[in-house]
């Protein structure tokens, strides 16, 4: 009779590890849901409290609560991470307005959250990423390809993020580095942007967060003979 316990001699399969920043809500939570079946997840947000709903929904995941612009706290948070297969830089802020109305604080806060914090988290995790020949996915934006009126500060941070990705790809040849440029996505951030524009919010005008999350999975699952460098997604209003 055939052995009914077919798995008893199989090697133990260890799931790859993925860290997703900004996973408490919006696109980051959708990326966490998308990767949960296949990855050991570390999920980031500013506080443990913000992470409670997504961690209850995905009980196998571990919280990574840290303010990403507090670089001493970030260094402490990454200490236990020795090997990292996937790093998704999703956390970000959008503070819109014209250049005429902008302030130094707005420029500093936006560049700090969307660019400098990404650079520092990546730098601190390079040994762990190299150990896994890992994949860095940067959630950029359509605003990282075109800078329109009223979007200058945010666009500058996302153009900078694109430059960071390109330099990282050239320097760290053992890693894969993908910039994803979605158009407007149905999230809290988009609700605030549309409210600021004084328009009614119609979720169906925007990309579903789950669709952009699927693009992250596709990038990560691309066979190793290809390097997905840029992915651009524009919404089709339904
Ligand atoms: N929504 C869009 O239309 C759109 C379009 C293109 C690209 N994007 C990009 O997609 C990404 C996600 O956007 P979203 O719409 O999902 O945003 P969201 O709904 O505003 O969520 C932002 C997430 O980032 C986290 N976060 C922000 N600043 C942080 C910091 N300094 N330290 C730690 N965590 C921080 C927030 O954590 P807390 O919960 O703790 O605040 C939250 O989890 C951003 O990079 C954004 O630029 C968005």
Ranges of each domain in the chain? 17-232
Nearest ligand 1 atom, CA 207: 3
pLDDT tens-digit series, residues 47-60? 999 999 999 999 99
| Percent of the chain residues past pLDDT 90, beyond the cut | 93
Q: How many helices (H) and strands (E) does the chain have?
A: 8, 7
For residues 95-120, average pLDDT: 98
Please tell me the distance between residue 26's alpha carbon and the centre of ligand 1 in angstroms: 7
Cα–Cα–Cα angle for 122, 71, 21, nearest 5°? 50
Which residues form ligand 1's pocket by a CB distance below 6 Å? 22, 24-28, 44-47, 50, 67-69, 90-94, 113, 139, 141, 182, 184-185, 187-190
Nearest ligand 1 atom, CA 25: 43
Distance CA 64, CA 42 (A): 6
- Between the alpha carbon of residue 139 and those of residues 28, 93, 158, 228, the distances in Å are 9, 12, 9, 13
Please tell me the distance between residue 177's alpha carbon and the centre of ligand 1 in angstroms: 20
Look at residue 4 and tell me whether its pLDDT is greater than 70.
no
Look at residue 80 and tell me whether its pLDDT is greater than 50.
yes
CATH architecture of 17-232: 3-Layer(aba) Sandwich (3.40)
Q: Is 140 helix (H, G, I), strand (E, B) or coil?
A: coil
Ligand 1 pocket, mutate which of 23, 27, 237 (most atoms under 8 A from CB): 27
Predicted local distance difference test score (pLDDT) of residue 215: 98
The confidence band for 3, taking pLDDT boundaries of 50, 70 and 90, is very low
Please give the positions annotated as active site.
154
| Percent of the chain residues past pLDDT 70, beyond the cut | 95
The confidence band for 2, taking pLDDT boundaries of 50, 70 and 90, is very low
pLDDT tens-digit series, residues 150-204? 999 999 999 999 999 999 999 999 999 999 999 999 999 999 999 999 999 999 9
Predicted local distance difference test score (pLDDT) of residue 13: 80
Please name the residue whose Cα sits nearest to atom 11 of ligand 1.
90
For residues 125-146, average pLDDT: 98
Predicted local distance difference test score (pLDDT) of residue 37: 98
pTM: 0.95
Let me know if 188 is exposed, middle or buried by CB neighbors in 10 A (0-12, 13-18, 19+): exposed
Nearest ligand 1 atom, CA 112: 31
pLDDT tens-digit series, residues 5-29? 444 455 678 999 999 999 999 999 9
């Amino acid at each position: 009779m055939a052995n009914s316990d077919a798995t008893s001699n199989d090697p133990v399969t260890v799931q790859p590890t993925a860290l997703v920043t900004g996973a408490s809500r919006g696109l980051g939570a959708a990326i966490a849901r998308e990767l949960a079946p296949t990855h050991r997840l570390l999920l980031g947000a500013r506080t443990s409290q913000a992470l409670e709903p997504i961690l209850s929904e995905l009980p196998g995941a571990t919280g990574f609560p840290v303010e990403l612009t507090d670089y001493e706290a970030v260094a402490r948070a990454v200490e236990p991470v020795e090997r990292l297969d996937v790093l998704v830089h999703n956390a970000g802020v959008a503070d819109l307005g014209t250049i005429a109305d902008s302030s130094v604080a707005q420029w500093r806060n936006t560049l700090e959250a969307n660019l400098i914090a990404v650079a520092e988290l990546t730098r601190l995790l390079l040994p762990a990423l190299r150990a896994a020949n890992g994949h860095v996915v940067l959630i950029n934006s359509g605003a990282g390809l075109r800078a329109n009126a009223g979007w200058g500060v945010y666009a500058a941070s996302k153009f900078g993020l694109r430059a960071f990705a390109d330099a990282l790809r050239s320097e760290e040849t053992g890693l894969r580095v993908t910039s994803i440029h979605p158009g407007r996505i149905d999230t809290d951030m988009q609700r605030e942007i549309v409210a600021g524009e004084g328009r009614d919010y119609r979720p169906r005008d925007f990309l579903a967060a789950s669709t952009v999350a699927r693009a992250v999975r596709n990038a990560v699952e691309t066979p190793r003979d290809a390097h997905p460098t840029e992915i651009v997604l524009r919404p089709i209003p339904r």
